[in-house]
Amino acid sequence: MHIVCFYLKKPLIRQKTGLLNHYFDYLEGVKSIIIIGGGASGYFTASNINYGNASITILEKSSKILSKVRISGGGRCNVTHNCFDNNILSESYPRGSRELKSVFSRFNVNDCIEWFESKGVRLKTEEDGRMFPVTDDSFSIVNCLINEADKKKVALKYNAEVLDIVRNKSRFEIYLRSDEKVIADYVIVAAGGSPKITGYDFLKTLGIVIIPPVPSLFTFNLPRNKITELMGLSVAAAKVTVLNTKLEEKGPLLITHWGLSGPVVLRLSAWGAKQLSELNYDFKISVSWLGINRAEAESEIHQLAQNKKQLVVNSMLTGIPQRLWKYLVQKAGIGNDIQWANLTNKSKQALVEIIANDIYDVKGKTTFKEEFVTCGGVDLKEVNLSTMESHKHPGLYFTGEVLNVDGITGGFNFQHAWASAFIAAKSITEKELG
């Protein structure tokens, strides 16, 4: 491998653009590989290009690398998900589900585990299927990727925002905001998602079709709703339905200081990303706090009501925290001094309704922590999924979230990042080695 140095360049003034452009000293017989994006898929691509006569450079537009890897899973890095059936695994992707069956046939969860463990990073599985490094520290993954890139003498340039990519015969010209121009034989676009379609403008010249992006994986805001006073409380198996849609999920629900979150809400936001965007994040939801229907809730309340002398507020259903139960009882209009024996049938029915069908007005969203994920990006029809190479431009590759692929929470987005990056790296390696 040969390192590309950004600080030893030949200056050349081009009157056509009026910009001061710089070229790398081109090494005869050495292929220049440029990776746009210093995130998970960018570094994984660099780490898996396995032939010696190449110069590999990562262009990172910010001053940080591997940011999502660092913060994922609360700083532990949710590397992948313990799902070894590719058909089932692909069902966790609202966009790209059908196409990913092919991708995962080339690099699956087992391959991911084996790759990291071969580099000395052992993974563990938690009860919900999420997989983390045994260290519970994302820097185990960060350091692994950096070390592997260092072994290949991968160069890194920070604050290198790409403004345009132009095809020039068999090579690519990459124009940076810094008025530099980079020449590449191969370009891997691993730039991640963007909240706005303008974030993909650097691909315009190449004529790449972009699916307009909208947010995925976000929480539901309930402004000025009293339930937010219960922030931190959770239930294990709630059912949440977006009214007047087919969107419904069941799972852990968390009350936050801004509204509702937890896996059940995040899954809803992923599957309903486009639909909820069209509603301008203004809609109603129904919450079944125990994931049960009205008849089942009525049966549960009937059992509790046998404790006739007990106060309703002190006799909660299993699975509902005491403070939440008190809130629900009060919302049903039942006083703190009411015993089950004195509970009117009307009040009992009101409580049943709230347990099984508690209605809330959602007004807006909040990005889940800092784990920004988008629905949208490069149209999958633009890409040969067996190589991740552009149909229109040989030598141009797309990996990770820049593609119109997004998964639900639980390690699925990283699994796609690793898989697409590995496939791209393998394709380039095989092209050069024959």
- Residue 355, pLDDT above cutoff 80: yes
The verdict on 224 and 345 lying in the same domain is yes
Task: Compute the distance between CA of residue 182 and CA of residue 164 in angstroms, rounded to an integer.
Answer: 11
For the chain, percent of residues with pLDDT exceeding 90: 89
User: For the segment 305-323, what is each residue's pLDDT rounded down to a tens digit?
Assistant: 999 999 999 999 999 999 9
- Does 49 reside within a domain? yes
Are 143 and 259 in the same domain?
Answer: no
pLDDT at 52: 77
pLDDT digits (tens, 9 = 90+) for 237-295: 999 999 999 999 999 999 999 999 999 999 999 999 999 999 999 999 999 999 999 99
Does residue 83 lie within any of the structural domains?
yes
Would residue 3 count as lying in a domain? no
Q: Would you list the DSSP string of 52-80?
A: SSEEEEEE-SSS-SSHHHHHHHHHT---E
Same-domain pairing of 204 and 222: no
Among candidate residues 292, 281, 288, the one with its CA nearest the CA of residue 258? 281
Domain range for residue 105?
9-214+372-433
Pair (313, 389) in one structural domain: no
**The dihedral of CA 313, 314, 317, 322: what is its sign?**
positive
**Average pLDDT, rounded, for the chain:** 92
* Percent of the chain scoring above 70 in pLDDT: 92
CATH number at residue 148: 3.50.50.60
- Whether residue 26 is predicted with pLDDT greater than 60 in this model: the reply is no
Burial of 14 (0-12, 13-18, 19+ CB in 10 A): exposed
Kindly report, residue by residue over 379-423, the tens digit of the pLDDT. 999 999 999 999 999 999 999 999 999 999 999 999 999 999 999
Residues 415 and 333 placed together within one structural domain of the fold: no
- The packing angle between helices 139-151 and 67-75, to 10°, is 150
User: Is residue 4 included in any domain, yes or no?
Assistant: no
| Within a domain: 1 | no
Mean pLDDT, rounded, for 200-228: 96
For residue 12, the model assigns a pLDDT of: 25
Average pLDDT over residues 2-8: 33
Residues 139 and 105 in one domain: yes
Task: Say how many domains are in the chain.
Answer: 2
Q: Judge whether 2 lies within some domain.
A: no
Of 311, 341, 367, the residue at which a domain comes to its end is 367
Question: What tens digit of pLDDT does each residue of 190-211 get?
Answer: 999 998 999 999 999 999 999 9
Q: Where are the alpha helices (DSSP H) in 8-66?
A: 40-48
What is the tens place of the pLDDT at every residue in 84-137?
Answer: 999 999 999 999 999 999 999 999 999 999 999 999 999 999 999 999 999 999
Task: Let me know whether 80 and 205 are in one domain.
Answer: yes
Question: Which residues are 32's β-sheet partners?
Answer: 55
Does residue 102 lie in a domain region?
Answer: yes
pLDDT at site 371:
55
- Report DSSP state, residue 4: P
Model confidence at 15: pLDDT above 70? no
* Residues 162, 17 share a domain: yes
- Name the CA radius of gyration of the chain, rounded: 26
Given 340, 367, 394, the domain boundary residue is 367
Same domain, 123 and 31: yes
Q: Are residues 362 and 380 in the same domain?
A: no
CA dist 415 and 147 (Å) reads 20
Residue 382 falls within a domain, yes or no?
A: yes
Angle 73-420-46 (CA atoms, 0-180°, nearest 5)? 85
**Cα→Cα distances 425→188, 228, 291, 432, Å:** 9, 47, 45, 11
For every residue of 204-238, DSSP letters joined together read GGGT--EEEEEEESEEEE-TT-GGGGGTT-EEEEE
Q: Which pLDDT does position 5 carry in this prediction?
A: 33
With a CB cutoff of 8 Å and minimum separation 6, the contacts of 16 are none
Where among 367, 393, 419 does a domain terminate?
Answer: 367
pLDDT of residue 28: 59
Residue 310 and residue 428 in one domain: no
User: Is residue 370 over pLDDT 90?
Assistant: no
* Least confident stretch, 10-24, 257-271, 418-432: 10-24
Is 297 in the same domain as 155? no
Biggest CA pair distance of the chain: 91
